Structure 1
Amino acid sequence: MDKSNFLNTITLISIFVMLLLASFLLTVNTKNKLSNRLFASFLILTAFDLSSFFTDKYFETNLNFEVFRMTASLLIMPIFYLYVKAVCHSDFKLKPKHLLLILPFAIANLIFIPRFYLATTFENVHIYQHFKQLFEIRFFYILAELQYFFYIILVFSSLKKYREIYLENYTNTNNSSYKWLFQMTVFFLIAHCIVFFKSIIRYTNYSVFLNSSNLVIGTIALIISCWFVLKALNNPDLFKGLDSNMLLVNKILNTKVVSTENQLTETPKSAEIILQIEFIKKHVLEKESYLDSSLTIQELSEQVHIPVRDLSILINHHMNQHFFDFINEFRIQKAMQILKDPSKKKYTVLEILYEVGFNSKSSFNTAFKKHTNQTPTEFRNN
């Protein structure tokens, strides 16, 4: 089998897997309907874009189809960005303002109308022969690259904010949503860098590497599409969104909006802060709230009868800790007690981490080493 046939086979398998997963996401009964539909749309558009690998002969007689396929790729990153927002925020909804995201797609199609969509059969032949040199095509590639890097920065920025809010409000160490989205974004960035490299080669004397780059892109597409399916099978309830109204503490402190029911003074007395902090620590220690692996700041707020806003500022600002790290300190102290207890030598590290509120060995080891500069096994041996 030559490279061309092998590439076509890989691409067809990738497209089939993506469309199969998209069909599943569109029909499955779940509470994550919007995010599933957005991800399905993303997969369909990506599969449509991948179809370019085996449409060269079709392109010669169907210029309009090829041009539309090219411009449709400008919808991929906006859809992916909306998908990230829908996963990160459980209350995310599509709004009329989101129609602005299709503006590059609309502009590109308007530019292609005069010389491409309205071209005669004779003009089609000329366009095909000089395709790479045409102004519209070069403009499209520049627009596509600018749009891509704009959205990739936007996505990474959204994920960074999501992670910070998560750490300030949750203690569940297994933040699968963030890991999934971050890994997927990194994979797309790597794949796009290869595509960008391929686009540069197209305009150089090294076009001999074009088929090899296509093969790499096709292989990566197949790996990513199979990875999507494995993730869906292994994590059917993968995503846990945050309330979009949640703010980072630094934004809460900077805002000028003050609650009339629970007015928060900008410079409360030090003694009051110390008393509140001691009260919170005493409650968490005595009631062992930290043993709940899914404890959130909202739940602790109800337990100590302190508004979430005030509690978040006390922990994340005055104690200079994320809520995530604040609760983990109690868990690590509890784990250290168990590891030092001669009567509990038979306890495995796995049993201990579950007992103190962790739900993964990697996160427990990371947190333990952060607080003790030792692994749990090293601590026990010493």
Structure 2
Amino acid sequence: MQDFNYLFIIVVISIFISLFLAVFLVTASSTNKLSNRLFALFLIYTSIDVSGFLYESNAGEMSNLAMFRNLVIFLQLPTLYLYVLAASYKNFSLKWKHIIHILPFVLVNLVFVPRFYLANTAEKIVFLQGFKNVPEVQFNHIFLHLQVLVYIVLIFLALRKAKKLYLENYTGNSLLSHQWLFQLSVAITIFYVIALLKNILKFSTYDHISDQITIGLYVFNLIIICWYLLKALNNPTLFRSVDPNLTLVETIVSEKKKNSSQAVNDINFDVELQKLQAYMQDEQAFLNASLTIQDVSDAIHIPVRELSVLINHRLGQHFFDFVNSYRIKKAQGLLTDTTDKKRTVLEILYEVGFNSKSSFNTAFKKHTGYTPTAYRKNHS
């Protein structure tokens, strides 16, 4: 009974925070309205799913509404996938082709129409008493596992492509949005893996273990929801989407191989490289924390596609790392400047174009093998 009281409180708090955050996302002034609304919809679906604990505890039997609520889970991952796309790419919009993502939800509901939705109360009770052997329930169980697997793969493939585009074309805060989406996807994946394990045990002789895992999932869900809220409050302008018209360098290179001679490519490479290096050294554009490859392209009058191939393919560096190499070189000079020893590492990282201590430390160690503090100590 005490466990029930704790779970009741946990579920109510989870639903309240989810709906509160959903309202915040829908009403907040933002340029990412579609992604915010999709994430809000995901939170609403999550609330509906979690509310099953309250509904079943009070109703005692599964009505048509309860079954419909139970099947809303088939809308959660499709919505999360669309959210990842909307948060990753500028100008992403919902099109008629995206209606395919609600078809699994429609299908599983149609499966339950003849022997459940249209059945009377007595027939529903008989149907649910042997649910482990009911074909419709078994189909639902297998289909859900397949859907989860497919959408988790789709989400991480989308994130992988988006990260490549971030690294090839952006610096600074741009990568923070990808990190958030990746962290979110990992957390959701862990949740669904545990949930699927719980469902497998539910259909076995270890259903008592399934009940214990269910309690853990409610707690885990509350933790994730609170994390969502903290992210939203601490980073209201977190997302900076990539241009959907950008092309991966590997695609550009394969296209370029079909035309133009190697000799011409080498001449252009040398000229463009000198132009790029002169601009980065003389203008110190890397000090701009939000520098993009488009900014550099506009400044030195080299098309983005050519510049992207030059940096990401010919130099063998992502634009992200290319810019950071200049920032780190500048930071090295400031760290070993004996005329201004009072300048802190935090002041230096902001001065050279970084916007967080963690990203500066990571980049600095990647390029020098030292942490900034250790470098200053060993080279002063």
The TM-score bracket by the shorter chain reads over 0.9
- Does structure 1 conserve the Cα–Cα contact (< 8 Å) formed by 2:174 and 2:240? no
1:222-266: CA deviation from partner (whole Å, max 9, x where unpaired): 1111111111111111111111111110012224799xxxxx836
Distance 2:191 2:104 in 1: 22
CA contact (8 A) 1:332 1:368 kept: yes
Greater RCO structure (CA 8 Å; 6+ sep) = 1
Secondary structure in structure 2 of the residue aligned to 1:115 = helix
1:302 match: 298
Kindly provide the amino acid, as one letter, of the partner of residue 265 in structure 1: S
Matching residue of 2:260: 265
Q: Give the Å deviation of 1:58.
A: 5.5
**Aligned pair 1:155/2:181, yes or no?**
no
**2:344 corresponds to:** 348
Q: Is 1:324 the equivalent of 2:320?
A: yes
TM-score (normalised: structure 1): 0.94
Structure 1 alignment gaps of length 5 or more: 259-263
| CA apart distance, 1:121 | 2.1
Cα deviation for residue 136 of structure 1 reads 0.6
Q: Give distance in 2, aligned partners of 1:238 and 1:130.
A: 49
Deviation at 1:156, TM superposition (A): 0.8
- Matched residue of 2:237: which SS? coil
Residue number in structure 2 paired with 1:359: 355
Aligned residue number for residue 213 of structure 1: 213
What is the alpha-carbon distance in structure 2 between the residues aligned to residue 53 and residue 291 of structure 1? 53
Q: Which residue of 1 aligns with 2:329?
A: 333
| Counterpart in the other structure of 1:261 | none
Between stretches 230-239 and 267-276, larger displacement belongs to: 267-276
* Maintained 8 Å contact 1:174/1:359: no
Rate the CA distance shift 1:316–1:239 in 2: closer, same or farther, 3 A: same
Asked if the contact 1:173–1:360 (Cα under 8 Å) also holds between the matched residues in 2, the reply is no
Counterpart Cα distance in 1 of 2:215 and 2:361: 40
Q: Distance in 2 between matches of 1:187 and 1:10?
A: 19
Q: How does 1:90-239 map to 2 (within 5 A)?
A: 90-172=90-172, 175-239=175-239
**For the Cα contact (< 8 Å) 1:159–1:178, is it kept in 2?**
yes
Paired position in structure 2 for 1:54? 54
Mapped to 2, the partners of 1:363 and 1:174 lie a distance apart of 12
**Which residue does the alignment assign to 1:274?**
270
* Aligned mates of 1:29, 1:340 — CA distance in 2: 44
Paired residue secondary structure (2:339): helix
* Percent pairwise identity: 46
Shift of 1:106: 1.4
The alpha carbon displacement at 1:374 in A equals 1.3
Aligned partners of 1:200 and 1:269: how far apart in 2?
58
Counterpart contact for 2:169–2:320, Cα < 8 Å: yes
CA shift for structure 1 position 102: 1.1
Deviations 1:120-167 (A, max 9, x none): 222112012112221111110111111111111111111111111001
The farther-off stretch of 359-368 and 22-31 is 22-31
Change (3 A) 1:236 1:257: farther
Question: Quick one: distance in 1 between partners of 2:193 and 2:268?
Answer: 54
Q: Distance in 2 between matches of 1:257 and 1:62?
A: 62
**Corresponding position: 1:14 with 2:9:** no
Task: Work out the CA distance in 2 between the residues paired with 1:271 and 1:28.
Answer: 51
Cα 1:117–1:3 shift into 2, 3 Å: same
* 183-192 vs 91-100, greater mean Cα deviation: 183-192
Which deviates further from its counterpart, 58-67 or 177-186? 58-67
Aligned-partner Cα distance in 2 for 1:171–1:184: 21
| Distance in 2 between residues matched to 1:17 and 1:362, nearest whole Å | 29
Q: Distance in 1 between matches of 2:287 and 2:119?
A: 69
In the TM superposition, residue 368 of structure 1 has moved relative to its aligned partner by: 1.3
User: Is 2:73 the counterpart of 1:77?
Assistant: no
Greater CA deviation, 372-381 or 248-257?
248-257
TM-score by length of 2: 0.95
Mind listing any 5+ residue stretches in structure 2 that lack a counterpart? Answer: none
Q: Tell me how many residue pairs correspond in the alignment.
A: 377
